[in-house]
Amino acid sequence: MKALVTGGAGFIGGSLAGALVEGGAEVRVLDNFFTGRRDNVPSRAELFDGDVADPDVLSGAVSGVDVIFHQAAHRAVPRSLEAPLATNRANTHGTLAVLAAAQHAGVRRLVCASSSSVYGQVDEFPTPESVTLHPSSPYAVSKLGAEHYCRVFAELHGMHTVSLRYFNVYGPRQPPDVPYAQVVPLFIEAMTDGRVATVHGDGEQRRDFTYIDDVIAANIAAAEADGDTVAGRAYNVGGGNDISVLELLALVAKIVGVEPRAEHAAARPGDVRRTWAHIGAAARDLGWRPSVDLEEGLRRTIEWHAGGAGTEGGGEAP
- Rounded Cα–Cα distance for residues 172 and 213 (Å): 10
- Rounded Cα–Cα distance for residues 215 and 174 (Å): 13
Q: Please, are residues 167 and 307 in contact by the beta-carbon 8 Å criterion?
A: no
Contacts of 83 by beta carbon, 8 Å cutoff, 6+ apart: 74
- Rounded Cα–Cα distance for residues 258 and 44 (Å): 40
- Rounded Cα–Cα distance for residues 120 and 112 (Å): 19
Peptide linkage before 175 cis (omega within 30 of 0): no
Is 235 annotated in the active site? no
Among the options 119, 139, 166, 170, which is catalytic? 139
Q: How far is CA 237 from the centre of its chain?
A: 9
**Helix (H) / strand (E) containing 199:** strand 197-200
Region for 232 from its dihedrals, namely left if φ exceeds 0, alpha if ψ lies in -120 to 50, beta otherwise: left
Distances (CA, A) of 93 to 33, 100, 117, 180, 250: 18, 10, 18, 22, 40
Q: Is the dihedral of CA 225, 227, 230, 234 positive or negative?
A: positive
- The residues annotated with a catalytic role in the active site are 139
